[in-house]
A = this chain, B = another copy of it.
């Protein structure tokens, strides 16, 4: 999506990520090296771009280097590094997701001034509130808008663009839980499967996951108070 938004006709800088013979490739900065960030970096590297991945964990960086075959520069995420990375990048991918909580704002509106006109921000964390200050949800039909000359791509529910693939992935991940619920009923499934229990956000009308309760201003009720025998 980011590569596409970089085209001139879509408001971008008119840069081809992979470059061509004799012309250097575009630069991509991926903020966050979790599963989402790793995959974004993998595709960007595969498109022959010059890729930076920023992360806060040294252990994760040690893993990422061989996973990306040494083809991306993996560096510590801190304000200085983020500023350096976005000021050189043609494409910035915000991939900092915190489980079940709002994403931190890594790029403020002021920092947009460091970026090159026509460069592109893609906010993969938009469904958790976004990791750029200037992000607001868009749709697949009108996916981008511009702030201070920077193109923002912040489509809510990005996987919806490729339903064939997303549906199969979702099915793969959820089918075992669906089978458990079908076999043992909702309360029974929750009782016998700790992973399922930990995934319950709302049950019987109450918010049973603390970070969500806190962020949305609802009271938090532990699942074990609703379902007798659920794991604590």
Chain A residues within 8 Å of B, Cβ to Cβ? 1, 3-4, 6-9, 13-16, 18-26, 35, 39, 42-43, 45-48, 50, 52, 58, 61-62, 65-71, 73-76, 78, 140-141, 160-166, 168-169, 172-173, 175
Contacts and interface: CB of A to CB of B under 8 A. Distances in A.
A61 B22 CA distance: 7
A22 B165 contact: no
Contacts of A66: 66-69
A88 B18 CA distance: 21
Nearest to A164: B14
Given A46-B47, A48-B70, A70-B48, A75 B22 contact: yes
Contact of A15 (B18, B21, B43, B165): B165
Contact of A73 (B14, B50, B73, B161): B50
11 contacts: A1-B4, A7-B162, A9-B161, A19-B73, A21-B58, A21-B74, A22-B75, A22-B172, A46-B46, A46-B48, A78-B175
A141 B4 contact: no
Nearest to A44: B46
A172 B21 CA distance: 9
B58 A48 contact: no
A6 B13 CA distance: 23
A140 B12 CA distance: 13
A67 B184 CA distance: 37
A75 B23 contact: yes
A140 to B, nearest CB: 4
Contacts of A73: 19, 24-25, 50
A58 B186 CA distance: 23
Given A8-B161, A165-B15, A71 B74 contact: no
Given A47-B46, A66-B66, A140 B9 contact: yes
